[in-house]
Structures are given as structure tokens and as C-alpha cells.
Amino acid sequence: MEIIVGKNAGFCFGVKRAVDAVYDLLKENPRDLYSIGPLIHNETVTKDLKSKGLIEINDYDDIKNLKNKRVIIRTHGIEKNIYDLLKFNNNSIVDLTCPFVSKIHKLVKEYSESGYKIIVIGDKDHPEVKGIVSYAKNDIYVVISKEDINSLKFDRNDKVFIVFQTTTNAENAQKLVDILRDLFYNSRLVNTICNATQNRQDEVKILAETCDVMLIIGSNTSSNTRKLYEISKKYCENTYLLASADDVKNIKKEKNFKIGVSAGASTPKYLIEEILNNVRNEF
Ligand code: F3S
């Protein structure tokens, strides 16, 4: 058996920066530290942070009642009205929005103010996309399929600006961009898929094409992990999504297999190691 772990597997720059910062803050003072939503989409990490004192707030009513607290903005960013409300209520904001996401907020604001209609390629229910949408002055549309594009009631000459959710599937996004470019003469585009995502997806494709079994490590609640799984499954039928070391028992055991491994941006190194140790022991 051979195991090949992708160089880009696991925490990306933005997640590492956020997780390290929150552990440091908890060490300094574990009291009254709040996060709007789970800090990252990984239950192992969020459980540990909770045990050390981090309080997760999800309801709008609870957010409204936060006053004079330390409040963390996670890597996805948040909607502008919520940010403004937290400021208004005199909270001390620790803004850990990934710089790649902040860049999209800035672009959307600028182009929207210059009269462009904005198209975001991504999942409209993803918190990152909700945050991006909130920075447009008006006319912003989220598309993830050809059908979504067909439903746009634009004129061919409209000024259109296209951005991407940072963790969008690059292959699908390129297809949609080609359609949009053909439809609208006056379109501008900034590729906002972050390098970490792009590199990880490219790597998974190569591994999946050459390995007998693929292990994608991460939580099912993480959209970038699910996308890695989808890409891998396309090229390697024996692809498994593993959230914990326990899931190793679900892998069909064969001898002399070449196993490729990748992990979502919110998967910590220690979880990858734990799972790989189980694989080595079981196979
Ligand atoms: Fe940032 Fe990309 Fe990670 S947008 S949070 S570096 S996946």
C-alpha cells in the first residue's frame, strides 16, 4: 500500500490565521469571547474552542443583544448590516475575514457604485456569499448553474461585473463564465477563487486520476471539502469522505492499493494524522 498526501491538504492560510488568533485570544482571556457562527466548518475544532470558552452565536436576536463584548468575525466575513450593528453596540470586533474575501467585498462595492450589475458565481446560501451580496448597492445576482444564468433578465449591453465565491468549483465556474461572456458584451471579470482552493482542487484531480482510492478528510458541513469530494469522485470511483478516524472502517480494504489523500481548508493537521494512522493500522 502506498499513501500519497497532497501538499495542499488541510488548513489554508485564512483558516490557520483565524484559528491561531482565536486560540491566542482565549489564552489571554477566555471570558466573553463570541463568534458569529462556527469559526470554521470542522466540528472537532469548534468543539475544542467551545471547551476553552468561545461562545458561538447564531440567532439574529442574540447578535442584536451583544453589547460591549469581544466579537470575532470568521473567515467568511459577515453581512454588512450585522457588522454595522455590532459596531453600533460598542463591541470590540476582531475581524478575521480572510483578505481574499475582503477583496471581493471591496470590488463588489466599487463596481456596484459605478453602475455595474454584479454576478456572483457561488452558492446563494453560503455565508460567504450572503456577506458578498450585502456589499452591493443594488442589482446583485448569484448563479451556480446554466439555468440560473438563463433566468437573468439582463440586456446584452448591460455593464456586468463577475466575481466568484472563493471556494467555487473552478471547472464549473469556467463553464459559467464562458456562457456569461457570450451573453453580455460589456462584462468584466476578476477571478476571486483563492489560490489555496484552486491548488487544492487541481491537486485532487491529479491524485484522483492516478490513485485507486481517494480519501477526502473534512466535515460534510464544509462546502470546500464537499467540492473536493465531488471532483475526486468524478475521476476516482473509490472516493471516501472521512470526518473522523472512526470512518476509516467504511473503506473497502484491498491490498497493494495506491491511496491519495486530501483535506478541506478547515481540516486540522492532527485530524489528518489521526486518520492516516488508522488507515496504516487497518490496512
Ligand atoms: Fe481564505 Fe481561501 Fe482559505 S479564501 S479562508 S485562503 S480557502
Task: Output the pLDDT for position 282.
Answer: 83
Q: How much is the pLDDT for 169?
A: 84
Q: What is the mean pLDDT of residues 159-178?
A: 92
- Residue 168's pLDDT band (cuts 50, 70, 90): confident
Q: 88 is written with which cell numbers?
A: 453600533
Share of the chain above pLDDT 70, in %: 100
What average pLDDT is seen over the chain?
94
**Of the candidates 11, 61, 39, 68, which has an alpha carbon nearest to the alpha carbon of residue 268?**
11
Length of the chain, in residues:
283
Burial 30-52 (b: 16+ CB within 10 A, else e): eeebbbbbbbbbbbbbbeebeee
Residue owning the nearest CA to atom 6 of ligand 1: 14
Q: What is the pLDDT of residues 203-223, one digit of tens each?
A: 999 999 999 999 999 999 898
Residue 138 has a pLDDT of 87
pLDDT, tens only, 122-151: 999 999 999 999 999 989 999 999 999 999
| Amino acid code (one letter) for 256 | N
Residues 80-114 have pLDDT tens digits of 999 999 999 999 999 999 999 999 999 999 999 99
Which ligand 1 atom sits closest to the C-alpha of 12?
3
The confidence score (pLDDT) of residue 223 equals 86
For residue 55, pLDDT over 90 is answered with yes
For helices 170-183 and 195-210, what crossing angle results, to 10°?
120
Residue 167: pLDDT above 90?
no
Q: Which of 28, 128, 209, 282 is catalytic?
A: 128
Rg of the chain in Å (alpha carbons): 20
Q: Say yes or no: CB of residue 194 within 6 Å of ligand 1.
A: yes
**Residue from 39, 98, 105, 201 whose mutation best tests the ligand 1 pocket (most atoms within 8 A of CB):** 98
149, 176 in Cβ contact below 8 A? yes
Cβ–ligand 1 contact at 23 (below 6 Å): no
Which has the closest alpha carbon to 161: 120, 206, 214?
120
| 170, pLDDT greater than 90 | no
Atom of ligand 1 nearest to the CA of 101: 4
DSSP string, 196-265: HHHHHHHHHHHHHHH-SEEEEES-TT-HHHHHHHHHHHHH-SSEEEESSGGGGGGSPP-SS-EEEEEE-T
Closest CA to 57 of 43, 39, 79: 39
Does the Cβ of 192 fall within 6 Å of ligand 1? no
User: Per-residue pLDDT averaged across 191-202, rounded?
Assistant: 92
Round to the nearest angstrom and report the end-to-end CA distance of the chain.
Answer: 8
For 52-67, what is the HEC assignment? CCCEEECCHHHHHCCC
128 flagged as catalytic: yes
With pLDDT > 90 as the criterion, what percentage of the chain qualifies?
88
Average pLDDT of the residues in 72-77 = 95
Q: Looking at the predicted structure, is the pLDDT value of residue 256 above 80?
A: no
Q: State pTM to two decimals.
A: 0.87
